């Protein structure tokens, strides 16, 4: 283990989570120790190397899949409520380790400590949701057109679920998928982001302990580490019927193609280019809170981050001035220090992307309202800290049409009715999250109607960022169409089967067809 920050208890957190450097490789969760290339995890908080883990090789991967496949044959036979009990125990372990896991998320990824704790709380919440759901995996009963017949449908587990997660939510998105997959009777193989491998190891340690305590196979929960090549092992593998992938649109298109080639299933959660519409009837104070948190929370590295603020021309200057004033109060620094609002970007490549976006918006005719820039000096040694920026722009700008995973907010102006604002909001290829700030009931209902927001998430008088466990999470268009977390998202992790039972002594055929041998 390399030297890490000690003033915020990171070393102690790592120890409690069992995260340490293993020279022979890192356990994949199936008693497999990799001989692959070293993968280094640097913290964007202070630029220090936290630890080194080894990437999964093809040989390692095949051992993991063999273990997972064998474990599935045992796990699927356990009644769903009993599987729910295991998930309940996992949730309780997360409660015990919420503080150290939240710190690791903050230190390895760079989001604020409060956001790190919030992410672990999401894991706990989805476990609670899944426990209840384990007694509600219901089907339907239908009336048959044939007398003496009963028709119904039921759901069965799929098998091995492959999970590919992104760096910005290094633990919660895995839990969204895993908790539901587990109660469905599936086993999971997880490839976390190569930018946050230690978070994956910590979660695997927690899960493995629960399965061991219950004398269950380790192969129910599996971890593989590495870059896109390791992920590709799963996307092309017929033994993995479902791939759940979170990341960029570019990545999602590659995953979708690979999985479709073998007629597998994809659950895609891809990019967002989210907007808040601000109408003349908006509460300005609420608007500022929603817009600022949405734009700068997690340093603008959420798929639900607010990228565009679409403001009516009659209140444009008032809203702009209020948001700009709020930006002047932002504190940027070590995310483990709870006095700070904004932490670092994930790495220097992200900083480069941020700078390119600001240069491009000016080149396309935009105007910088709140200047950005890289922060230097004491506390900013990692080179990953930037100033949240605001620019006035137009919808047709290429930079506005594309998602910039950084704290850059674009101000756009609309005139006339709310329909014009909705057209601007919908005028991008992404369709994840959206919001409207208004106290006008007709505007709110128009926004939520069939001709309103085309996003998977549409909010009224709250921002675009953040989601509750109870609702299905996901987006439309090039966001991928997937749904995770609440509602009936559990169905994607199962296969549907229609059953017909004939309890008579005759065999009538459907649609009145006659086929008589007598």
The residues with which 386 forms a beta bridge, in sequence order, are 374
pLDDT at 243: 98
Residue 455 annotated among the catalytic residues of the structure: no
C-alpha torsion 144→150→151→152, nearest 10: 140
Residue 32 annotated among the catalytic residues of the structure: no
pLDDT at 175: 98
Q: Beta strand 457-460 with 433-437: parallel, antiparallel or unpaired?
A: parallel
Greatest alpha-carbon span in the chain:
94
Out of 269, 443, 478, 484, which one is annotated catalytic? 269
Mean pLDDT of the chain: 94
501 class by beta-carbon count within 10 Å (0-12 exposed, 13-18 middle, 19+ buried):
exposed
Residues 6+ apart with CB under 8 A from 492: 242, 265, 267, 482, 483
Three-state SS string over 109-169 comes to HCCCHHHHHHHHHHHHHHHHHHHHHCCCCCCEEEECCCCCEEEEEEEEECCEEEEECCCCC
Residues of the chain under the 70 pLDDT cut: 1-7, 21-33, 518
Out of 203, 303, 384, 455, which one is annotated catalytic? 303
Q: At 52, list the tokens.
A: 């080194």
The tens digit of pLDDT for each residue in 183-224 reads 999 999 999 999 999 999 999 999 999 999 999 998 999 999
The whole-angstrom separation of Cα 188 and Cα 165 is 13
The tens digit of pLDDT for each residue in 477-494 reads 999 999 999 999 999 999
DSSP state of 27: B
Closest Cα partner for 275 from 169, 368, 395? 395
For residues 111 and 60, is the Cβ–Cβ distance under 8 A? no
Distances (CA, A) of 485 to 19, 108, 177: 27, 24, 7
What global pTM score does this model have? Answer: 0.95
Closest Cα partner for 27 from 173, 176, 190, 185? 190
3 class by beta-carbon count within 10 Å (0-12 exposed, 13-18 middle, 19+ buried):
exposed
CA 296, 129, 246, 453 dihedral sign is negative
Q: At 436, list the tokens.
A: 């409207």
Q: What SS3 state is found at 184?
A: helix
How far is CA 50 from its chain centroid?
Answer: 24
Three-state SS string over 440-505 comes to CHHHHHHHHCCCCCCCCEEEECCCCCCCCCCCEECCEECCCCCCEECCCHHHHHEEEEEEEEECCC
In 302-346 the beta strands, taken as DSSP E runs, fall at 306-312
The whole-angstrom separation of Cα 150 and Cα 173 is 40
pLDDT at 25: 36
Phi and psi (nearest 5°) for 74?
A: -90, -45
Chain length of the chain: 518
Closest Cα partner for 283 from 402, 440, 61, 420? 440
pLDDT at 23: 40
């Amino acid at each position: 283990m390399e030297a890490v920050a000690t003033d915020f208890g990171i070393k102690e957190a790592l120890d409690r989570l069992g995260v340490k450097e293993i020279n022979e490789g890192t356990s994949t969760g199936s008693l497999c120790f990799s001989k692959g290339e070293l993968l280094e995890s640097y913290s964007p908080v202070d630029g220090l190397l936290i630890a080194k883990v080894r990437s999964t090789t093809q040989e390692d991967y095949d051992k993991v899949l063999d273990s997972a496949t064998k474990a599935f044959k045992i796990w699927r036979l356990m009644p769903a409520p009993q599987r729910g009990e295991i998930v309940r125990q996992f949730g309780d372990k997360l409660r015990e380790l919420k503080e150290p896991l939240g710190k690791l998320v903050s230190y390895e990824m760079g989001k604020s400590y409060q956001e790190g704790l919030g992410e672990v709380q999401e894991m706990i919440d989805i476990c609670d949701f899944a426990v209840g759901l384990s007694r509600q995996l219901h089907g339907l009963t239908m009336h048959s057109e044939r007398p003496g017949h009963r028709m119904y449908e039921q759901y069965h587990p799929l098998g091995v679920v492959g999970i590919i997660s992104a760096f910005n939510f290094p633990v919660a998105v895995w839990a969204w998928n895993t908790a539901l997959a587990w109660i469905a009777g599936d086993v999971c193989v997880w490839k976390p982001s190569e930018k946050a491998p230690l978070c994956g190891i910590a979660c695997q340690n927690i899960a493995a302990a629960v399965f061991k305590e219950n004398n269950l196979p380790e192969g129910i929960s599996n971890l593989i580490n590495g870059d896109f090549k390791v992920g590709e092992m799963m996307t092309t593998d017929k033994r993995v019927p479902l791939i759940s992938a979170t990341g960029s649109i570019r990545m999602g298109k590659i995953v979708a193609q690979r999985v479709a080639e073998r007629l597998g299933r994809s659950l895609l959660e891809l990019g967002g280019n989210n907007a808040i519409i601000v109408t003349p009837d908006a509460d300005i104070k609420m608007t500022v809170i929603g817009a600022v948190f949405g734009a700068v929370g997690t340093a603008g590295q959420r798929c639900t981050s607010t990228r565009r603020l679409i403001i009516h021309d009659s209140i444009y200057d008032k809203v702009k001035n209020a948001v700009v004033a709020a930006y002047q109060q932002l504190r940027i620094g070590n995310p483990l220090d709870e006095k700070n609002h904004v932490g670092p970007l994930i790495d220097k490549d992200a900083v480069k992307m941020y700078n390119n976006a600001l240069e491009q918006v000016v080149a396309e005719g935009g105007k910088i309202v709140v200047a950005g820039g890289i922060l230097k000096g004491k506390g900013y040694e990692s080179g990953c800290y930037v100033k949240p920026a605001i620019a006035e722009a137009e919808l047709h700008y290429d930079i506005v049409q594309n998602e910039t995973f950084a704290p850059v907010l674009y101000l756009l102006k609309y005139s006339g009715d709310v329909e014009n604002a909705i057209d601007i909001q919908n005028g991008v290829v992404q369709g994840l999250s959206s919001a409207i700030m208004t106290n006008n009931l007709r505007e709110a209902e128009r926004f939520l109607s069939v001709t309103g927001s085309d996003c998977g998430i549409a909010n009224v008088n709250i921002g675009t960022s953040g989601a509750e466990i109870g609702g299905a999470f996901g987006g439309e268009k090039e966001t991928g169409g997937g749904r995770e977390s609440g509602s009936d998202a559990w169905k994607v992790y199962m296969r549907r089967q229609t059953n017909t039972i004939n309890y008579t002594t005759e065999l009538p055929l459907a649609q009145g067809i006659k086929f008589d041998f007598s």
